[in-house]
Amino acid sequence: MRPLFFLYIFCFSITGFSQRTDHAIDSLFNSYFTNGTFNGSALVIKDNQIIYQKALGYATSNKQTQLSIHSKFLMGSIYKEFPAVAIMQLVENNKLTINQSIHKILPELPQWSAKITIKHLLQYSSGLPKVNWKHYFSNQIIPTDKSLFEDIKNVSKLKFTPGSDYLYTNMSPVLLIKIIEKVTKLSFEEYLTKNMLNPYQIEGIKIKDQFPFLDKENMAMPFNKDFKDDPYKVAIKNELISSNVNGLYLWLKKLDDFEIISKESMRFLSQKANKETHTQAPLGSCSWKNNDINIHHHHGSSGNFECLVTRDKTNNIFVILLTNQKNRNLFEITNKILNN
Which residues, at least 6 apart from 116, have a Cβ–Cβ distance to it below 8 Å? 101, 102, 103, 126, 127, 128, 158, 162
Domain regions of the chain by residue span: 14-338
| Distance between CA atoms of residues 238 and 241, nearest Å | 7
Residue 24: C-alpha distances to residues 8, 40, 130, 174, 317 (Å): 22, 18, 42, 42, 16
Q: What would the pLDDT profile of 56-86 be if each residue is shown by its tens digit? A: 999 999 999 999 999 999 999 999 999 999 9
Which residues, at least 6 apart from 275, have a Cβ–Cβ distance to it below 8 Å? none
Percent of the chain exceeding pLDDT 90 equals: 90
Helix-strand-coil percent breakdown of the chain, rounded to 5? Answer: 35, 20, 45
278 pLDDT tier (thresholds 50, 70, 90): confident
227 has pLDDT over 80: yes
7 pLDDT tier (thresholds 50, 70, 90): very low
The pLDDT assigned to 152 comes to: 98
The pLDDT assigned to 22 comes to: 84
Percent of the chain exceeding pLDDT 70 equals: 93
pLDDT (mean) for 286-305: 96
Q: Which CATH number fits domain 14-338: 3.40.50.300, 1.10.3720.10, 3.40.710.10, 3.40.605.10?
A: 3.40.710.10
Least confident of 19-23, 61-65, 116-120: 19-23
| Distance between CA atoms of residues 55 and 32, nearest Å | 12
275 pLDDT tier (thresholds 50, 70, 90): low
Q: What would the pLDDT profile of 199-217 be if each residue is shown by its tens digit? A: 999 999 999 999 999 999 9
125 has pLDDT over 50: yes
Class of residue 118 by CB neighbours under 10 A (exposed 0-12, middle 13-18, buried 19+): buried
Q: What would the pLDDT profile of 178-192 be if each residue is shown by its tens digit? A: 999 999 999 999 999
Radius of gyration of the chain (CA): 20
